[in-house]
Structure 1
Amino acid sequence: MPEGPDGSAATLDPKEAFQLFSHELRLDILLALRESPDYSLGFAELRRAVDERDSGKFTYHLGKLRGQFVKRVGDRYALQYAGHRVIDAVRSGVFHESPSVDPVAVEGVCPRCGTTPTFAYEEHLATVACPSCETKLVEYPFDPGGFRDRSLGEAVTAFDRRTKYKWRSASGGVCFVCAGRVDVEYADSAADLDHLDRYDDYFAEDHPAVLELGCRNCSFYSYLPVGVRLLDAAPVVGRLAERGVDVDARPLWELPFVTEAARVTVREREPWSVLVEALTPGGRLDVLLDDDATVESVTTHP
């Protein structure tokens, strides 16, 4: 791999970067460095770690990684940020694992019929739905790595927390996949999902409007309930907490302003003006979102 004058990696073509891992020894080298105490090993230690007896072969493949993925520091080879990201992708499980989870009861009640909802997982998609009236409350991709070293209950909690993080970041304009700029716009419906995505029925398909997100840099795109914008708005989060609703402690499917179509009213289009009602034990909040899906005003009602 080409290196700059200071030993850092020169610009690498994306196709070339992927081709680097056509040989399993290169991935073994990264994994060995990842498992070392300080993410670095000497030449002999690293060769033993990957169990490669042929020094020439090992040197050749290690050389292919130097610069972008591995850097020589003194007499040791250290894993670089790009190398960590390669391992992260592998450890997420999305390339080689596809577990399934039969429906299991989770906390909360269905807003339509009062039944306890269930969590299920299939083809990298986690779904919280009502087993009685079949209402889907929340549905979103979740990496198989989320089940590793966790009980099923812990995995459900991890799904909720990770999905909140993703939705907050993306709806705020920052891609959680590549850090690129995400365009956030309103849409009347998530029509594209009918033929382009994994959903059989989009969980917010009955909402009068949704947020359409698309990253300018990578392949990330998504449709989210409009109420997601309340999760990251300090004036809203604070008032909700004062009135007994902790948005971090409550799972997404227990937040009606996210899941229920009746809590969303489109006041205007061109420019957009959308009202979201947040019900709390201490009163109702009316949150008005402007054309940029930013909180314009918050009105408190008893």
Structure 2
Amino acid sequence: MDRDSESDRNREHASDNASDHESDRRDQGVLECTDCLDPADAFALVGNEVRLSILEALWAAEESPVSFSELRREVGMRDSAQFNYHLQKLVGHFVTQQGDGYVFKHAGEKVVRSVIAGSFNEHPSIEPFDVTGACFACDGPLAATYEDERLAIDCRACGQGHGEYAFPPGGLADRTRAEIADAFDQRVRHLHCLAADGVCPECSGRMETRIVEEDDCCLGVSLRVDHECRQCAHTLCSAAGLRLLDHSEVVTFHRERGVSLDDRPYWTLPWCVSDEFTRLVDRDPSRLEVRIPLAGDELRVTMDDELAVVETHETSPSSD
């Protein structure tokens, strides 16, 4: 074999090894990175008034990217070298350089949004207030209570829970109590829609769903659905029916009977907050059936263990 042929073979072998290495690296997942920031270091980086001011200046800018001089002017720091020191601490993790200026990375936007939402610097309080609907258990009046950045819907008469979920302090600003209740309803729908679709509403990591037969959640149900993120461990729980609020056949079933689900807060729908209308029809694999009664008719929806709808069946008094 001549030297050139041997050299070609060596290059091919090296290329194959590199391809195998690249394949292995991809299989390990995107979190296997060499420049990932430890959470404690991340908090330390933004735990500085100047750096937080830089992020806020980027947020307030009307155009992007924002030049070094404009950022320094907005922050109000005269010492260019000192300002650059703090700016460079943010570059790579919270900010990226683009041309002659700087723009947000997602993590930087997340920090500023958290500040705006009031999660870092606000601790508002609001007295419990009445909300639309009646308790599915006793027909008593419902009220919303806000505490520790969580909003809960409970019955004033019997205390039955109708859901308790995180609601940032910023959600209370410039809203009437009715508007707060509506915003909470929309937020709960959105969070659970993402979770049921396998996307964590906090970090966009992979969300896993499981059916739980316990009665230790805020709803007091013995059959519920839990969602947990494999990446950040964020969790959500709900009655199984909550998953069906935007399902086309469920929406149509209500619309044909004069009801718009968009106009009905989730807590006014018993099949969304109770397990009275839900039963486990199989365990291996798991299957849930949710009954949705309306105007004398009933829609029965069967879901698998990932809450995908596998069957629907509509019944009416005339068909029984």
Q: TM-score range by the shorter chain?
A: 0.7 to 0.9
| Number of positions where the alignment pairs a residue of Structure 1 with one of Structure 2 | 283
Deviation, structure 1 residue 39: 4.3
Three-state SS of the structure 1 residue aligned to 2:54 is helix
Partner of 1:260: 274
Q: Is the 8 A contact 1:126 1:140 kept in 2?
A: yes
CA drift of 1:153 comes to 1.8
Distance 1:45 1:245 in 2: 53
Q: Identify which range, 76-85 or 18-27, moves more after superposition.
A: 76-85
Cα 1:74–1:266 change in 2 (3 A) is closer
- Rg (Cα) greater in structure: 2
- With structure 1 as the length reference, what TM-score do the two structures score? 0.86
Aligned to 1:291: 305
For residue 203 of structure 1, what is the amino acid of its counterpart? Answer: C
Aligned in 2, Cα 1:46/1:107: closer, same or farther, shift over 3 Å? Answer: same
**Pairs within 5 Å for 1:99-114:** 99-114=124-139
Residues 1:208 and 1:12: Cα distance change in structure 2 (over 3 Å): closer
- Give the structure 2 partner of residue 7 of structure 1: none
Question: In the aligned structure 1, how far is the partner of 2:141 from the partner of 2:160?
Answer: 11
- 1:139 maps to which residue? 164
**8 Å CA contact retained: 2:215, 2:222:** no
Aligned position for 1:220: 234
Structure 1: gaps spanning 5 or more residues: 1-9, 192-201
Unaligned stretches of 5+ residues in structure 2: 1-33
Moved more, 226-235 or 21-30: 226-235
Give structure 1 regions of 4+ aligned residues with deviation exceeding 4 angstroms: none
Q: State the identity %.
A: 35
Aligned equivalent of 1:49? 74
2:118 aligned residue: 93
Choose 283-292 or 125-134, whichever is displaced more.
Answer: 283-292
| Amino acid in the other structure paired with 1:55 | S
Which position in structure 2 is the counterpart of 1:12? 36
Give the whole-Å Cα distance in 2 for the aligned partners of 1:71 and 1:274: 47
> How far does the alpha carbon of each residue in 1:171-213 deviate from its partner, in whole angstroms, 9 at most, with x for none?
221111111111111110154xxxxxxxxxx3322x3411121
2:132 is the counterpart of 1:71: no
CA contact (8 A) 2:242 2:266 kept: no
Measured in 1, the distance between the counterparts of 2:283 and 2:191 equals: 27
1:202-213 map, 5 Å: 202-205=217-220, 207-213=221-227
Q: Please state whether the residue corresponding to 1:248 is helix, strand or coil.
A: helix
Q: 1:240-251 to 2 correspondence within 5 Å?
A: 240-251=254-265
- Aligned counterpart in structure 2 of residue 29 of structure 1, from 30, 48, 54: 54
1:258 Cα shift?
A: 0.8
Structure 1 208/273 Cα, relative in aligned 2: closer, same or farther at 3 Å? farther
Distance 2:137 2:87 in 1: 59
* Matched-pair contact (CA < 8 Å) for 2:208–2:228: yes
Secondary structure of 1:102 counterpart: coil
Higher helix share: 2
Amino acid at match of 2:247: A
Question: Which residue does the alignment assign to 1:6?
Answer: none
Q: Contact conserved, 1:118 with 1:131, CA < 8 A, in 2?
A: yes
Q: Relative contact order (C-alpha < 8 Å, sep 6+): which is higher?
A: 1
Aligned-partner Cα distance in 2 for 1:39–1:151: 34
Aligned-residue offset at 1:121 = 0.5
TM-score when scaled to structure 2?
0.81
Asked if residue 128 in structure 1 is aligned to residue 153 in structure 2, the reply is yes
SS in 1 for 2:112: helix
Contact 2:65 2:100 in 1 (8 A): no
* Change in CA separation of 1:118 and 1:64 when aligned onto 2, cut-off 3 Å: same
